[in-house]
Structure formats: structure tokens, C-alpha cells
Amino acid sequence: MKISLPAFLILCVLFVSCNQHPASGEVEKNATTDSGMRITQNEPDDSIVLSEPIISSAKHYFSNLLSQDSFVAELPKGNIYKSNLYLKIYTAGNELLFLDSISPTAFVSGDIFGQGTVLPQVVSRDLHHGIAALFEEANFSITGDEEAIKNATATQISDMAGWKEAVSDSSKIVFSFYNADMGISYVTYSKELKRGVVILKLPSEESED
């Protein structure tokens, strides 16, 4: 049986169309949002990827009252579930005084991690806001104003030498930050150790439950 030319052309068009589109139910694997975050749609919800690092910095008096030190927070690009936010403190002479890390989930509002729907815009907003707020004035105080330091128990003290210095000198500057896993950490400069140390960790209400 002969096939007419128009019928043959229609069959060719149908064949090409069927091979260009994904099968029913198949989803495009990667999508990039306006927030600069990529979601891997065919994989679990722990695949929120930063295309660029998030960096925040500020200057505060910390190791001495003559010159301000530089505080830097950096969340590398990549999967935020597999990354740490790094906190660094440098002297005016670029000497590293302190290095620690925080889970990025400390800055995400609500419990969307592990849930069925991922909202990258919300995650991006929370991360940018939380990291930028790390070095606000409210997170800096002196040991004389911190009842938690003066009344610390042995299980809460992270560095005994640094804590003793802080208690004996009520004018020491304290930097505190929240870590979702560890609660609140208090950092001060130890003249004896010549570096910043976490002297106290207070568990969050969630970790106490």
C-alpha cells in the first residue's frame, strides 16, 4: 500500500515530536531560581544549592580597645545541607584570632528541612538576613553584663582558662552567636592564649527537650 506524501509528512512530524518531549510524569532535573539557588527536583529535598557564596563582614572592638578587629562570616557555594558557615576574627594586622563554624540551618525559620516542599526564596532570604545580622551590636557585650557567664556551671564552660579571665575582668568584650545544634556560644579574647575562645555554650531550648 502506497502512502501519500502529505500523510508521510504528518507521520514524520509526529515521530519527531514524540522524541523531543519527556515522558509523562518526568520532571526537568534542575531549575535555577531568582534567589541564586538551584533545586535538584528529582532528588530529595536536601538539595538546595547556592550558586554563589554568602559573605558578611564588620569591624568591632574585641581583642583590645585601641583598634577594631575584623569579623567575617562566609557560607561557601554548594549544597547548604553539606556546608558550614565559617566565622573568622582577624586583628587589624590580619592575624587570625578565631575560627569556628555554624550549621546554616541555624538561620532558617521554621522546620522546612526534610519537608515535602522546598521554598528556595525563603531559605535564601533567611540565610542572607541571618548571616548579615551576626555582627549586629546586640551580639556584643562585656562580661560584667552577662549573668550567664558569671553564673556558668562546669558543664557549660567550654574553656576554663578563658572563662576565668572573663570572670576576673568584667570589662572584657564578649561576642555571642546562635548555633542551631549547640545553642548560644560566647566568645572572648584570652590574653593568656592570645586568641579568641568559646568560653561558654548554653544549650538551646530545642536541644534541652
117 pLDDT tier (thresholds 50, 70, 90): low
DSSP 8-state class, residue 192: T
> Any idea where the domains of the chain sit in the sequence?
26-135, 139-209
Contact criterion met (CB below 8 Å) for 100 and 87: yes
Q: How far apart are CA 125 and CA 121, in angstroms?
A: 6
> Model pTM?
0.73
pLDDT per residue as tens digits for the range 17-32: 444 443 433 323 333 3
The model's pLDDT over 118-131, given as tens digits with 9 standing for 90+, comes to 567 778 888 999 99
Per-residue model confidence as pLDDT tens digits over 125-172 = 889 999 999 999 999 999 999 999 999 999 999 999 999 999 999 999
Q: Grid coordinates in use for 6?
A: 502529505
